[in-house]
Structures are given as C-alpha cells and as structure tokens.
C-alpha cells in the first residue's frame, strides 16, 4: 500500500501538499541543508493544522491556510473531544514547537552559542516523521509499526546531484566530465562562482587546462568567464545544456 492511499480520506488539496512538504523536509535534511529557510517545518505545520481542523469540524478546506494566531488555533483543537486524542492533544501541542523553530531559531545567537541548525533540523525531522505516521495510523486504522513502515517508504532517499558541506561542494555523479561538472556547479549558484572554488570543488589539479576550458566555454557562450574578477556565471545556452544533461541523467 502506498502512503498516499493510506491518506486517501484527506482531499488532494491537502494531501498532495502534505506529502510534498514532508518529502522536501526529508530530502533537505539528507543533503545537510539545515538552515531554517530550507528546513523549518513551518509550511508543514500549516498543512497539518488545516487537516486536523477540517477533520474536527467534518469539513476539510480545499487548500491549507494559516491561522492568524497559530498557537491559539492549535489550542482550540483541544475542545474537540470527539476526535482521536493524538489529533486533539498531542499533535496540536507539537505543532507550535515546530512553528517556534521556524520563527525564532537559527538567528541572533551571541557569545559562545553553538549554531543550533543541525540540532533543530533533527528535531523537526523527528516530529514531522511522528506526525506523518500518526496521520497514517489514524486515517487508515493501522498499528504503529505498519504506519511507520508506510511513512518510511514515502521518504524517498534520492541521491542529490551535488552534496554541500562546510565550504565545499561535490558533484556526486563521477561519470560527468569536467565541463559538465562546471555547468552543474555554476548552475546551482545564484551568484557568480569563484574559479578557485570550482577548482577546489572539482579537485582538478591542472589549473592551466582548467582555465583553457573556461575560456572555451566562454567562447561558446555557455558561461561568462570574468578573468578580472576570477568568476564564472552560467549563461542561457549553458542553462539549456544543463537542462538537457539533467534530463538525460535523470538528475
């Protein structure tokens, strides 16, 4: 059984965003994207609240909505004694904690504070995973182990094209040529990429050849290679080649 089928009692306007947001959270965590902007759980909270509120009132909304006072709205769910206790008490009390991570963590830390992003992200993933399993368990009347197995199958562990670590990026597909790696690394960057970074990330030792390749790609208008600034920017023809590469490699 697919998890989407186990959540079939939830209308598509809520079910599809729920699954997509959960998968996004899991994938970002696996790629070590731990910043609050990329792995916050805030949108997930709003979707889950909309589902619980719709279930409690026997009328699901067509799309998720954000209550003006999220904490108060979650507390109001505790008034619905006719719904499962996890929907009435446990999840409504967990959602504000997730929302707090989204709003007030990972910013403004001073002194000797350790950056909390990894710790917070682990908390977000654990709570979101538990909530998803509980939704599956209740809606499809499964035991806890069965529900968790379904949720685990939903969290597709796809291998990213590029892994990002501390001050380093690596193209994980070793079959890609140096030219293709440059297109990929330039394509994922919103700003011009330093040539030194590209050399470091590709671990290419022949700097003379590397620069010759950049000049050739510049002439082909795949990239804008600024010798003065020592940077590379992907141009529209390069973006087109990158799209073709992504399609052929399923990346």
pLDDT tens string, the chain, 251 residues long: the values are 555 677 888 999 999 999 989 888 887 776 666 666 556 688 999 999 999 999 999 999 999 999 999 999 999 999 999 999 999 999 999 999 988 886 665 543 444 444 567 778 888 888 998 999 889 888 887 777 777 777 776 654 555 678 877 788 999 889 999 999 999 999 877 789 999 999 999 999 999 999 999 999 999 999 999 999 999 999 989 988 887 887 666 45
- Nearest C-alpha neighbor of 217 from the set 249, 175, 172, 187: 187
Q: How far apart are CA 243 and CA 218, in angstroms?
A: 18
- Residue 106 is predicted with a pLDDT of 52
pTM of the model: 0.60
- Residue 59 is predicted with a pLDDT of 94
Residue spans per domain, the chain: 3-154, 162-249
- What is the dotted CATH code of the domain comprising 162-249? 1.10.10.10
User: Can you give the C-alpha Rg of the chain in angstroms?
Assistant: 23
Length of the chain: 251
- Nearest C-alpha neighbor of 126 from the set 98, 145, 87: 98
Q: b or e along 5-43 (b: 16 or more beta carbons within 10 Å of the residue's beta carbon)?
A: ebbeebeeebbebbbebbeebbbbbbbbbbebebbbbbb
Angle between helices 117-140 and 91-104 (to 10 degrees): 150
243: which residues sit within 8 A by CB, 6+ positions away?
Answer: none
How far CA 33 is from CA of 92, 191, 240, in Å, comes to: 26, 18, 26
């Amino acid at each position: 059984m697919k998890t989407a089928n186990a959540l079939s009692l939830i209308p598509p306007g809520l079910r599809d965003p729920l699954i997509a947001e959960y998968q996004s959270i899991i994938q970002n965590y696996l790629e070590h994207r731990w910043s609050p902007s990329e792995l916050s759980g805030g949108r997930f909270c709003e979707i889950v609240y909309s589902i619980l509120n719709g279930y409690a009132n026997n009328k699901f909304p067509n799309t998720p909505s954000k209550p003006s006072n999220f904490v108060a709205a979650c507390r109001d769910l505790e008034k619905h004694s006719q719904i499962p206790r996890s929907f009435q008490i446990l999840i409504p009390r967990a959602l504000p904690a997730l929302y707090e991570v989204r709003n007030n963590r990972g910013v403004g830390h001073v002194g000797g504070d350790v950056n909390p992003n990894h710790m917070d992200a682990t908390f977000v993933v654990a709570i979101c995973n538990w909530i998803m399993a509980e939704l599956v368990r209740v809606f499809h009347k499964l035991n806890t182990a069965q529900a968790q197995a379904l949720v685990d199958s939903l969290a597709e562990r796809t291998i990213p094209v590029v892994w990002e670590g501390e001050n380093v990026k690596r193209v994980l597909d070793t079959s890609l040529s140096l030219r293709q790696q440059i297109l990929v690394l330039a394509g994922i960057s919103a700003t011009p990429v330093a040539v030194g970074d590209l050399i470091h990330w590709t671990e290419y030792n022949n700097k003379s050849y590397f620069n010759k390749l950049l000049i050739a790609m510049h002439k082909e208008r795949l990239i804008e290679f600024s010798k003065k600034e020592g940077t590379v920017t992907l141009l529209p023809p390069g973006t087109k080649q990158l799209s073709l590469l992504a399609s052929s490699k399923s990346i």
